[in-house]
A and B are shown apart, each in its own frame.
Chain A
Amino acid sequence: MNIRKYFKYVASRPEFAALTIFIIIAITFYGINENFLNFRNLRVLFTISPEIALIAMGATILMVSGEFDLSVGSVFALSGVVMVVLTNEGVNAHLAFTISLLMCLAIGFINATITIRFGIPSFIATLGTMFMVRSIAIVIVKADFPTFPMEEMYWLRAIFANPIPGTIFRMSFIWFILITLLLIFYLHRSNYGNWSYSTGANQAAAQAMGVNTNNVKIRNFVLCSFLAGLAGIFMVLRTRAAFPSVGVGYELQAIAASVIGGASLFGGIGTVFGALVGAFLLKFLDNGLVMARLDVNWFRFAVGTLLIFAVISNTNLRRIANKMRE
């Protein structure tokens, strides 16, 4: 009876399946090359994974409420570019940082407005803004890439990017943990989260119960865009370079991470923790292939396989769990 209950619990929570795969992958790559989990490489892994995880968590929350955002990769690039270019133009770095994030909020709001006001699929609306935002990032930079204003960015780097001495973490990791906790509160413990789930699962029912589903979606679009922009800023502060071409394909990686972590494309299902595990899984896989001296071009193949496998197993596990009535 207890084993049954335990199995039902695990089967109905796909993030545990993702976590299991994650552990298997980590152990396997460690078996192939011990250096995979050495200090230096762990530092790399815990630097790059949170950036995609921030985007994936935003994407999952938006997916839970029944919408997509394909513009996150472009927003990821634009936020850093705007911050650096503005600073180079003489704007105070902290102000430039703030303006850049406000701009991300605005992009999220525009995505929401186009989707809701005109009743078109967010898939299309954000595919449009994906191109537009990327274009803006490239135009702003023009031909020559902006030099990184080291001096002006001193404090921002200290707050958001510098390595924490003696650990594998950078400052961005602390922010990442903090944000993750806030997002868990938002999606899983708050009334806003309950409205997000009900909006994605059955919009008509949510409306009939008095939930303002438009507001729910606007909020989540804005949140998703904000997180993508913040991740972009983290990356620029870390690498000390703002390229308008970064983040291409991140929108699909974010969706892949969400789905591997158990989110449903139909809305109403998904967890913050699942997105986090999915994102870390992708980055560990990517890095592990390099460390194993395999051709990295297999990365996409591995992600594709994993994605299909995850969706099939999630669907089936859910079905099995559903049949196990207590």
Chain B
Amino acid sequence: MSESIIRCEGLNKWYGSIQALKDVSIDIKKGEAVGLVGDNGAGKSTFIKILSGVHKADSGNIYFDGNKVKINNARDSMKLGIETIYQDSALAPTLSIARNLFVGREPLTFKIGSLGLLDREKMARESLEAIKRVELDLRSGDEVVENLSGGERQGVVIARALYFRTKVLIMDEPTNHLSVKETEKVLRWIEKLKAEGTTCIFITHNLHHVYPVSDRLVVFARGEKIADVQKKDTSIEDLTKMIVHD
């Protein structure tokens, strides 16, 4: 059994009088690909938002790499090496790939306080290398993101995760709105991330999309974790029954 990267114990989250998360404990191993499945409002998004620092749990503990951590905001989460990609909202459409790749983590040639001069040469060079790694057919990092197809955008996002050696990549519906061909491509990239040792967590309600690349599937319903199974021990039919019948 390999080491765990994220371990949560008894997470609870209330929104007013509604309990969005009920005593959720989960242990995610290094390099694992975990699919979080469940219907809308099942609690999977809330769980993700706690990990990415958007919301704070009302009670419970989070351990990262064996150490107890507090995730108060997105920065805390990123510092740990957790990167979260929300549907359609991971990139700034009017900016170039190069600028998008480095938003918030720009390489600088010099700085005064936190204000610094962009190292544009490095940004151009490294962004081109980063998009080549995901085999995107683009000649330069200057291309504006809004010109890219949905699949290419996911490619840029995954290139970013690869570039910054993200330890945990959380993806919200990574294959939504994508054509079959593009979906195939995204799933191939995810295999690549896994090969590089990145732990991947997907949230989806389309079981068929994540099933092939997941090692393990966790089912949420009404804020609770109702199942946590290795893929080899289950089937799409079983999982669908769990989601639908609960």
Contacts and interface: CB of A to CB of B under 8 A. Distances in A.
Interface of A: 12, 185-186, 189-195, 197-198, 200-202, 204-211, 264, 268-269, 322-323, 325-326
B214 interface: no
B116 A322 contact: no
Contact of A210 (B75, B108, B115): B75
A198 B145 CA distance: 12
Contacts of A205: 86, 89-92, 103
B117 A189 contact: yes
Contacts of A200: 94
Interface residues of B, number: 35
B104 A209 contact: yes
Interface string B59-93: 00000000000000011001000001110011111
B91 A197 contact: no
Interface of B: 52, 74-75, 78, 84-86, 89-95, 99-100, 102-106, 108, 111, 114-118, 120, 139-140, 143-144, 146-147
A110 B231 CA distance: 55
A236 B195 CA distance: 66
Contacts of A191: 106, 108, 111, 114-116, 118
Given A208-B84, A326-B139, A201 B94 contact: yes
A326 to B, nearest CB: 5
Contacts of A325: 143, 147
Contacts of B118: 189-191, 193-194
Q: Enumerate the 6 nearest inter-chain pairs by beta-carbon distance, A residue then B residue, closest first.
A: A201-B92, A209-B104, A268-B94, A191-B106, A210-B104, A198-B92
Contact of A206 (B84, B103, B116): B103
Contact of A209 (B103, B114, B144): B103
Contacts of B120: 189
11 contacts: A190-B116, A191-B114, A198-B95, A198-B104, A201-B93, A205-B90, A207-B74, A209-B104, A210-B74, A268-B93, A323-B147
Contacts of B140: 326
A32 to B, nearest CB: 39
Contacts of A326: 139-140, 143
Nearest to A268: B94
A201 B95 contact: yes
Contacts of B89: 202, 204-205, 208
A264 B146 CA distance: 15
Contacts of A186: 115
Contact of A194 (B74, B93, B103, B146): B103
